[in-house]
A and B are shown apart, each in its own frame.
Chain A
Amino acid sequence: MKILVPIKRVPDPATTIRVLPDGSGIATDNVKWVINPFDEIAIEEALRIKEKQAGSEVVLVTIGQSTWQEQLRTGLAMGADRAILVKNDGYLDPLALAKIIAKVAAGENADLVLLGKQAIDDDSNQVGQMLAELLGWPQATFASKVEFADKRVTVIREVDGGLETIAFNLPAVVTTDLRLNEPRYASLPGIMKARKKELKEVAAESLGLDLAPKLKIKSLTAPPKRQAGRKVASVEELVSVLHTEAKVI
């Protein structure tokens, strides 16, 4: 089985994010970059499938600048077989990303595209769904368990208030939720092997797609600073404050 895992480079969740004064983006100095945690789960799941199904191949793809190689190398060090960097410098909206991934998936003859349900930077939660639509493949979002029997996939999905089990045939798109697995860390021998694996670059323009954004980010604002708490003397005062000031009851 050939599994395509699209990954995104995002700021380390532990980094303190500062919005630029003009609201055009975030300050990137001193930011540590990592693989989007949901995508890391997707890589792990792909590797587990490969370990069970001999002859499988795990191919990573990312769409971004040359520096994003770093995250591809981390994925290769975890155990993926090869990687593709679709080079692009400007902003791409989720639909443009989905178009690029669809093109790569078709070109690679992938059986399964496994990706994070969302990226932790903009939390769009759109690429997987759009991708399935563009490819005309079945999709299972928010997967917490993925099982195979031949070409048939059974996925348990995390939905509001419970779990949903769905089954469909490959090829398909699956997006990962937090509880699907615990991703492995790259070992040092893995890192050394990764340097010898194929990392191919293609220019986004060369794919012949309309990538003009339909979505524009107008500005970013930091969440309001948290105010210090306040002590009240009695339950009566608490209820009254919640009613008259906070207006929540």
Chain B
Amino acid sequence: MDEVQDRDIIAAVRGFVEREVIPFASDFEHRDEYPHPMVAGLKSLGLFGATIPAEHGGLGLSFATYARVMEELSRGWMSLAGVINSHLIMAFIITHHGTAAQKEYFLPAMARGDKRGGLALTEPHAGSDVQSIRTTAVRRGDDYVLKGSKMFITNARNGTMLAVAAKTDPLAKPAYAGISMFAVEKNDAGPAVGANLKKLGYKGIDTCEVTLDDLAVPAANLIGGAEGLGFKQVMSALEVGRINVAARAVGVGQAAFETAIHYAQQRTAFGKPICEHQAVQLLLADMGTGVEAARLMVANAARKKDAGERCDVEAGMAKLFASEACAKISLDAMRVLGGYGFMQEFPVERFYRDAPLMMIGEGTNEIQALVIARGLLARYPA
């Protein structure tokens, strides 16, 4: 780890966000338009390779630095962190579980952003309960034939491929032992990508339904080269996703807090700036404290992950705390801005609409609570 370098990297991302993201984010968001120029910027910065190891052409950032980078992106526009997140989850799965040939074929192109990935886990009837997915993969000669449909898949349209979870053994007991992961590159045969779903927030970025209609995928794309490993492969990568989502919450919370504290010093009511009214100070103090605590929790989880320690409890806590704090902070920012907070001319309404996603994505907060409780009970046996 090189502290100076990490600081320079975070500063470079912050500079990019100030110049290329903040001035335009709300316009793209309100039009629900994919931010092609900003994504090109992410690509030239090298962020598609952020956590891909240097030996495979990536930047090999630590998770601690990666979390700060995602925070900075989300401070400008949370959707940008989504462009990177599931791409890097797919890269993580290939890095840690792929065959040598898969690493060589996918990772350098993913690091450059030439191949862009996503994660297709959720199905219309199965979100939290991943084990009950119904998509199947049947071996036929040199291929697997995939059949099923996936729901809420981010980067499905603008990405070039997806890591798809499918059952190679639908009758396996336990059910998770029948799940395998496939690197599915899009081609003329499929998968079919449905219209962009209309969302409350997290706009601009594509989230779609994906249909695999007897799609043939080369057996060489079965990640790890053996069946039944998919569930564990995905679970190992979800900590990365949780750190990402928690860091997004810190970024959105920071942006909402900053907007509020600047506004509070300019707006006057009853003869003084509103920041001199105690009721507003209480809000500001609470918001600042929430962001600070959330940031430290994310940093702690990321540090554990970097040290190779198990961090499901810490990552879950960070994700749970940061996303709840972010939702509260974005609402409090709206209180501070009064009527202006409710208007599209100010970004607070966007932060407020974006915040709830972090409570749902990468495992709902209720699921986080289950993971945390299970981990704590194991740590503190009777």
Contact = CB atoms under 8 A, between A and B. Distances in A.
Interface in B12-28: 12-13, 15-16
B8 A187 contact: no
A115 B16 CA distance: 25
A207 interface: no
B15 A191 contact: no
Interface residues of A, number: 12
Interface string A179-192: 00000011111011
A186 B46 CA distance: 10
A74 B15 CA distance: 12
A192 B54 CA distance: 11
Given A195-B2, A195-B4, A188 B15 contact: no
A117 interface: no
A187 B46 contact: yes
Contacts of B59: 188-189, 192
A195 B12 contact: no
A77 B45 CA distance: 12
B278 interface: no
A75 to B, nearest CB: 12
Contacts of B4: 73, 195
Interface residues of B, number: 15
Interface string B34-50: 00000000001111001
Given A187-B45, A188-B45, A188-B59, A77 B16 contact: no
Given A192-B59, A195-B2, A185 B15 contact: yes
B46 A188 contact: yes
A188 B9 contact: yes
A248 to B, nearest CB: 32
Contacts of B187: none
A77 B8 CA distance: 10
B5 A195 contact: yes
Contacts of B45: 185, 187-188
Interface string A30-57: 0000000000000000000000000000
Contacts of A189: 46, 59
A187 B44 contact: yes
B5 A185 contact: no
B64 to A, nearest CB: 15
Interface string A153-193: 00000000000000000000000000000000111110110
B236 to A, nearest CB: 25
A57 B50 CA distance: 29
Contacts of A73: 4, 8
A192 B15 CA distance: 17
Contacts of B12: 77, 185-188, 191
A44 B61 CA distance: 27
Contacts of B46: 187-189
Contacts of A187: 12, 44-46
Nearest to A32: B11
A16 to B, nearest CB: 13
Contacts of B8: 73-74, 77, 186, 191, 194
A191 B13 CA distance: 11
B5 A192 contact: yes
Contacts of A185: 12, 15-16, 45
A194 B5 CA distance: 9
17 contacts: A73-B4, A74-B8, A77-B12, A185-B15, A185-B16, A186-B12, A187-B12, A187-B45, A188-B12, A188-B13, A188-B45, A188-B46, A189-B46, A191-B8, A191-B12, A192-B9, A195-B2
Interface of B: 2, 4-5, 8-9, 12-13, 15-16, 44-47, 50, 59
Interface of A: 73-74, 77, 185-189, 191-192, 194-195
Given A185-B16, A189-B46, A192-B59, 17 more contacts: A73-B8, A77-B12, A185-B12, A186-B8, A186-B12, A187-B45, A188-B9, A188-B12, A188-B13, A188-B45, A188-B46, A188-B47, A188-B50, A191-B5, A192-B5, A192-B9, A195-B2
Which 10 pairs, one residue from A and one from B, show the smallest C-beta to C-beta distance?
Answer: A188-B46, A189-B46, A191-B8, A195-B5, A187-B46, A188-B45, A188-B59, A188-B9, A187-B45, A191-B9
